[in-house]
Amino acid sequence: MAKFKKDEKRDTPAISTASLPDIIFMLLFFFMVSTTMREVTVMVDNTMPQATETVKLEKKSLVSNIYVGKPVGQYQATYGTEPKIQLNDRFAVLTEIQAFVIAEQEARPEEDRNSIVNNLKVDNDVTMGNITDLKQELRKANSLLVNYGAGRKATQR
C-alpha cells in the first residue's frame, strides 16, 4: 500500500480579478438605468404644509407639478419677494397657465390627456387668494383634477 505523504505547506492560489471590471460595469449600467434624475429645479421657497392623512399618487407620469412661493435668494433681485408661479423651469404669470396646461396635455398620449392631475406644491406663506386665482385659470383651461402637495407629519404615539 502506498503511503500518502504531505508535501510542504502549499499556498492557496490568488483570487482571479479578471472578471472584476465586468461586474463593476454591470453595476454601473444597472444604476444608470434605474436612477431617475430630478427633472425640475425648484426656484421658489417650497415649505409645504404637513398632513397626517396623505395618499400617494398612483401614476406619477400623469402628474403636472405647479410650484408657488417666494423666489429663492438668487432670483429675488430679478423677480422680487412676492409669491411667484413656477411652471417647469421658469417663472410664469397667471395668463400663461392655460398654454401650459395645453402643452402638458399634448405631451401625453391621447388616452391619458383627461387624466392629468395638477399637483399644486404651495409654500406655507402663500395667501389663499393667489391659489384661488390659479385654480380659476385651471378651470378656464378645463383642467379640473387638482391635488395639493403636502409633507407627511410624523404621528405621535
Question: Quick one: what percent of the chain has pLDDT higher than 90?
Answer: 51
- pLDDT by residue (tens digit) across 49-59? 888 888 888 88
Half-sphere exposure of residue 47, counting CA atoms within 13 Å on the CB side? 5
d(CA 31, CA 52): 33
Boundaries of domain holding 133: 50-152
Number of domains in the chain: 1
Q: Is 9 a member of any domain?
A: no
What pLDDT does 156 receive? 59
Residue 105: inside a domain = yes
How far are the Cα atoms of 12, 17, 29 from residue 85, in angstroms, in the given order? 67, 55, 37
Q: What is the pLDDT of residue 10?
A: 74
* Residue 136 belongs to some domain of the structure: yes
pLDDT of residue 119: 92
**128 versus 3: which is more confidently predicted?**
128
Is residue 14 included in any domain, yes or no? no
Give the model confidence (pLDDT) of 121-131 as tens digits. 999 999 999 99
For residues 51 and 152, the answer to whether their CB atoms sit within 8 Å is yes
Work out the average pLDDT over 73-78: 90
Partners of 146 in beta bridges: 118
Whether residue 44 contacts residue 71, with contact meaning beta carbons closer than 8 Å, is answered with yes
C-alpha 47/C-alpha 111 separation (Å) is 34
- Decide if 56 is inside a domain: yes
At 47, the pLDDT band (50, 70, 90 cuts) reads confident
Q: Considering the domain boundaries, does residue 3 fall inside one?
A: no
Query: Is 55 inside any structural domain?
Result: yes
Q: Which of 26, 138, 127, 151 is nearest to 68 (CA)?
A: 127
With respect to residue 7, please indicate whether it lies within any of the assigned structural domains. Answer: no
In this prediction, residue 2 carries a pLDDT of: 65
The pLDDT, as a whole number, for residue 126 is 92
pLDDT band, very low/low/confident/very high, at 151 (cuts 50, 70, 90): confident
This prediction has a pTM of 0.73
Q: Is the pLDDT of residue 6 over 70?
A: no
